[in-house]
Amino acid sequence: MSKHSREDGMDCLFERRDMKLVNIRFFRGQSDIICEDEFNAERAAAAARKRSGEITPAPHAPQCKQAPIDLRKVVADI
């Protein structure tokens, strides 16, 4: 792993004194082969986009497209 991408990934987690990291977790991408360098580079670039304001957060999770489906009705209609 190159020192550069690894440190970029770590810097964004530990550079601020007013906040403390409690936990960090990842959802691996779908490529079969992923190297640590590209993984860290993706993370560091995403952190930079957040810091720069290029992307902004939403206060809610992605929402469903459909209204709740009554499954008992679905199976009754089969």
Partner 1 sequence: MSVAALIKACSQWEHLPIDIEREVMPEFLKLGVKDEIYFWADPKLNPAIVSGEIEHWEYPMQENDPNPRRVADITYAKQMSDDWHRLVCCKELLHLLDPIETRVSRPEDIDKLIEKIILPSDLQDPFTDGIHALTDRVAITYAAAVLFPMGARNILLPHAGKKLSLPKIAQMAEIPIRYAYLVMSETWPEIHAMMVD
Residues at the contact surface with partner 1, assessed by CB under 8 A: 6, 9-10, 13-14, 18-36, 38-40, 42-43, 45-46, 49-50, 55-66, 68-72, 74-75, 78
As measured in angstroms, the least distance from the Cβ of 35 to partner 1 is 7
Judge contact between 21 and 14, C-beta under 8 A: yes
Nearest to 9 by CA among 53, 34, 40, 46: 40
As measured in angstroms, the least distance from the Cβ of 49 to partner 1 is 6
4 vs 10, which CB is nearer to partner 1?
Answer: 10
Count of alpha carbons within 13 angstroms of residue 49, beta-carbon side: 10
Task: Give the integer Cα–Cα distance in Å for 78 and 62.
Answer: 30
As measured in angstroms, the least distance from the Cβ of 4 to partner 1 is 14
